[in-house]
Amino acid sequence: MTINITMAVLLAGLYSVGFYLLMQRSLMRVILGIVILGHGANLFLQVAGGPPGVPPFAGLSAPEAMVDPLPQAMALTAIVITFALTTFLLALAFRSFVLLGHDEVQDDVEDRRVGTTAERNDLVQEAAP
């Protein structure tokens, strides 16, 4: 069994858009990116599961005609995890909006200062004989 080109292009598009949105500074775009990545993962699991077949009950049909239930179970688990993560991130974004008045992620000034100090120390150590 091989994946058709339409599904491969659709999966590539979903993952590309999801990762692009994850790299943005707006929290709502990050949340949308995670949701789109979750949908891409669910679609990938369904495509990997193969075409529909008969239910996997022992003794009712030939083993070759049965469908594997594991990708379907994993897709249901991924749906629940994506939903829980989405609601948690929405709560965090709402709290950030209430406290700051916007959903833009700010630069961490202290992190930049520590990085600059570390770079300065590396330069001093390289210059020392």
Q: For the chain, which residues make up each domain, given as ranges? A: 5-127
Looking at the predicted structure, is the pLDDT value of residue 1 above 70?
no
pTM higher than the cut 0.85? no
pLDDT tens-digit series, residues 83-108: 999 999 999 889 988 988 888 877 77
Q: Please report the sign of the dihedral spanned by the C-alpha atoms of residue 29, residue 33, residue 36, residue 38.
A: negative
CA angle 56, 62, 64 (to 5 degrees): 80
pLDDT tens-digit series, residues 15-62: 999 999 999 888 899 999 999 999 999 999 888 887 777 777 767 777
- Segment 114-125 mean pLDDT: 75
The topology (CATH level 3) of 5-127 is: Helix Hairpins (1.10.287)
- Could you count the other beta carbons within 10 Å of the beta carbon of residue 75? 17
Distance, in Å, from the CA atom of 34 to the CA atom of 41, rounded to the nearest integer, reads 10
**Burial degree of 36 (CB within 10 A; 0-12, 13-18, 19+):** buried
